[in-house]
Amino acid sequence: MENHLQKFFQFPFNLDKFTLNVSTDGEIMDSSARTLEKDNKKKGSVKQVLLDGCVPFSHQVAGHKCGINNTGVLQHPDGTILKQLQPPPRGPREMHFYTQVYAKDCTDTRLLDLQQHLPRFYGTWAPRESPHELYLKLEDVTKRFLRPCIMDVKMGKRSYDPFASLEKREEQISKYPLMEEIGFLLLGMRVYQINSDGYITLDQFYGRSLGKDTIKNGLTRFFHNGEDLQRHAVSLIISKIRSILRWFEGQTQLHFYASSLLLVYEGSPHTVNGWKHTQAETGTGHQQGEPQSKCNKHHEALSVQGSLTHSHPYCRETNANRMCAGSVEEEHAEIGMGDKKQFGQEEAVEVKMIDFAHVFPSNSPDEGYMYGLRNLLSTLEQILKTDI
């Protein structure tokens, strides 16, 4: 019997027949993946997106940047984030992954269990005047945090997939030769500092400068707020990563290459009852996670202006396997649930798997990804034992 997941993740895709069904308001329309690639290169495309009420996402620490001025990930007025599809086959492959994992009629327990480790997927979105320029519409996992500390960690022993050319393999290996030995790479981090009421930001070049003897120090920087090591955050994140490892240990159908873990914890010491905060109720008029201080002026250009609104209709599901459910008001309420909900210690951190442009079917465990998870867990456990 053909494996259920194999049918979901057939590769290579027939890109000439692969169509993307979307419109600016979620109605069905047809466009080929090759048309998508062409339209994504049009000048001024991101400028139009900004006119549709979207703004640059202020918490992006790594990943692809695209469009005019390399804007990168955008934030929709309803609070979701928009990730522009990459050119084929990467973009269609990532969209295919999300639509199958979140298909309404999905009955595969492995995929259903995987959902808890991914950002929620709300279909695709396109600006009104560029309907072929598609974006994945995803949950903003930083939304419920007042001062989110964020780190992007690329996972696995190698960052190229089985179909990569020799040139591509050599290029990826040269970027971080220790990837196979360490099993992960710090792509970027943004850490709130309570003494300055601002953020420090470290990019992929910092991550690539870390070796076997310094990787623990690099990770430690992510959990230090300028005064203290946030051991509670380390401990809670370890618990969530262990849960992801258990999922990998129980599946042999998928391999993930060049995929990342997004680690988030609350950096603000100003919370009610330990962990509850009401970021949308403070009336401060500035984006959560963006302290208004002189120390943080270099981030102001990327800040979301004003508080989030719901002036645009919710992007309806575009996957043919899913049906729209609930009213627009209910969907908005679901997206923004994190704003007002009380949460305990487990929800003071978040760990999500992201970036799925290189996911392929397999008949064996994903040893490369699990190797990286185990090494990351070991390093985090060492940090807990460190006296700082």
- Note the pLDDT tens digit of each residue in 36-70: 334 444 444 555 546 578 888 767 665 555 543 45
Q: Give the burial string for 349-385 (b: 16+ CB within 10 Å, else e).
A: bbbbbbbbbbbbebeebbebbbbbbebbbebbeebee
Q: Which two tokens stand for residue 63?
A: 């990943």
For residue 180, give the nearest of 212, 204, 138 by alpha carbon: 212
- Three-state SS for 166? helix
pTM of the model: 0.73
CB-count burial class (<10 Å; 0-12, 13-18, 19+) for 113 = middle
CA quadruple 32, 38, 39, 40: dihedral positive or negative? positive
94: enclosing H helix or E strand: helix 90-101
- Three-state SS for 246? helix
Spans of the chain, pLDDT less than 70: 1-51, 58, 60-71, 271-346, 388
Rounded to the nearest 5°, which phi and psi values hold at 350?
-145, 140
- Note the pLDDT tens digit of each residue in 221-240: 999 999 999 999 999 999 99
State how far the Cα of 152 lies from the Cα of 190, in Å rounded to an integer.
9
- What local confidence, expressed as pLDDT, does residue 387 receive? 76
